[in-house]
Amino acid sequence: MTTAERADLPGDAPSNPHAGAKAGETVRVAITWLEMTARPEGPYPPLPLTAPVSLIRAEAPPAAYFRYLYDLVGEEWEWTDRHADAPEDQAAWLADPAVSLISMLHRGWPAGFFVLDGRAGEHGEGVVDLAYFGISSRALGQGLGRWLLGEAIRAGWARPGCAKMTVNTCSLDHPRALPMYQRFGFRPVRRTEVERAMTRDRPA
């Protein structure tokens, strides 16, 4: 893959630039890096009354559980990078005390998750990275995404010593991902571009 730095911010990026791309086709993917340097002051989105859910933190979960959530949320958005990881490496990452995997159970099944990664050696002192976030396509349209993102941000800032939260998203993700992060207070600070081959057809 080739990577190129971009100086512009993501407001000019098309909302769904890869519509109609075919499996095997090489596309240029824009990755936007965002950060939040102050705890949000406003109220967090309320849990929709019609969508009963619970949040559960996994304690040193097996790598297979993370892979299940990773594929459940990300399969249609080309989340494939972690497929090459050795299971023992994933398990060690998940067992790190600075890493938290939180599952959202909706009507009894895992419908979304987020991972907070506060390893200072990876992200810097006082930085909590929202490493993964998303919900299943079956749970979309109920307001759960906004609520879950609010809870992820709340949990990140509740960590002792948190001075900044970071997150990144790319043009292969859901087209509403980047605008939603920005509405919640994340500010774009950098963009990179990579080339990658599509693994599945993308609807036009």
Give per-residue pLDDT as tens, 93-126. 999 999 999 999 998 899 999 999 999 878 888 9
- On whether residue 169 sits in a domain, the answer given is yes
Q: 159: closest CA among 122, 193, 120?
A: 120
In a domain, 203, yes or no: no
The radius of gyration of the chain's CA atoms, rounded to the nearest angstrom, is: 17
Q: Kindly state whether residue 131 falls inside one of the protein's structural domains.
A: yes
Residue 70's CB: how many other CB atoms inside 10 A? 21
Give the domain CATH number at 89: 3.40.630.30
pLDDT surpasses 60 at 10: no
Q: Are strands 3-6 and 164-170 parallel, antiparallel or unpaired?
A: unpaired
Q: How open is the CA angle 34-160-144, to the nearest 5 degrees?
A: 55
pLDDT band for position 200 (cuts 50, 70, 90): confident
The pTM of the full predicted model, rounded to 2 decimals, is 0.88
Give the mean pLDDT of the chain.
Answer: 87
Its domain, for residue 175, covers 3-197
Quote the pLDDT of residue 52. Answer: 82
Number of compact structural domains in the chain: 1
**56-90 per-position pLDDT tens digit:** 999 989 999 999 999 999 988 889 999 999 999 99
SS3 content of the chain, % helix, strand, coil (to 5): 30, 30, 40
Q: In this structure, are residues 113 and 104 in contact, taking their beta carbons and an 8 Å threshold?
A: yes
User: Within a domain: residue 183?
Assistant: yes
Whether the predicted pLDDT of 13 surpasses 70: no
Residue 148 lies inside a defined structural domain of this protein: yes
Q: Let me know if residue 204 belongs to a domain.
A: no
Tokens read off for 113? 């998750």
pLDDT tens sequence across 19-60: 777 888 888 999 999 999 999 987 888 887 777 889 999 998
Q: What is the pLDDT of residue 15?
A: 66
